[in-house]
Amino acid sequence: MNVHEFMTTRLEFVDGGASVYEAIEKMVDKRIRSLVVRFSGKDDGYGVITARDVVFRVLAKGINPQKMKVAEIASKPLITITQDADLTEASGLMQKSNVARLFVSDGQRLVGLVSLMDVMRAMLIMRARGKYVL
């Protein structure tokens, strides 16, 4: 099963110059756990901010999220995988990189996201189809 068959295609973005508070509002409003961060520099590419980043790097330390910029806690570069990679490649890259999500690319363009839950869902689908036997 290829990544494009089980990835999430709804990506949400936030500017690196936005406050962490704005990112929190967007994550809570959209009920999502991560945002792709756009950096202002031409060659800066993308990063990611997660709910874990917000809680551990800001809220647990008592830092005012309105006074901290997203770029200060965003992780970069993004760990990406091509949309034609398979389930085993995706789960292996997640393990090797110690991440809970991979961003899916089509050339230079981001087209989706694969999370741990997506990988587990794909395994269940493959097993139901008789194609995944442990």
Angle CA(38)–CA(39)–CA(42) in degrees, nearest 5? 115
Q: Is the pLDDT of residue 134 over 70?
A: no
Buried b (16+ CB within 10 A) or exposed e, 23-59: bbebbeeeebbbbbbbbeeeeeebbbbbeebbeebbe
pLDDT of 8-24, one tens digit each? 999 999 999 999 999 99
pLDDT of residue 127: 86
- The encoded tokens of residue 37 equal 């961060």
- Residue spans of the domains in the chain: they are 3-128
User: Residue 130: pLDDT band by 50, 70, 90 thresholds?
Assistant: confident
Superfamily of domain 3-128: CBS-domain (3.10.580.10)
pLDDT of residue 92: 94
pLDDT of residue 132: 64
Report the DSSP pairing between strands 109-115 and 13-15: unpaired
Name the residue with higher pLDDT: 59 or 125: 59
Q: How far is CA 2 from CA 81, 87, 91, 125, in A?
A: 11, 6, 12, 12
The alpha carbon of residue 113 and the mean position of all alpha carbons in its chain are separated, in whole angstroms, by 6
Find the mean pLDDT for residues 29-40: 92
pLDDT of 40-66, one tens digit each? 765 668 999 999 999 999 999 999 999
pLDDT of residue 128: 87
pLDDT of residue 45: 80
- The encoded tokens of residue 116 equal 């741990």
pLDDT of residue 40: 78
80 phi and psi, to 5 degrees? -120, 160
pLDDT of 70-121, one tens digit each? 999 999 889 999 999 998 999 999 999 999 999 999 988 899 999 999 999 9
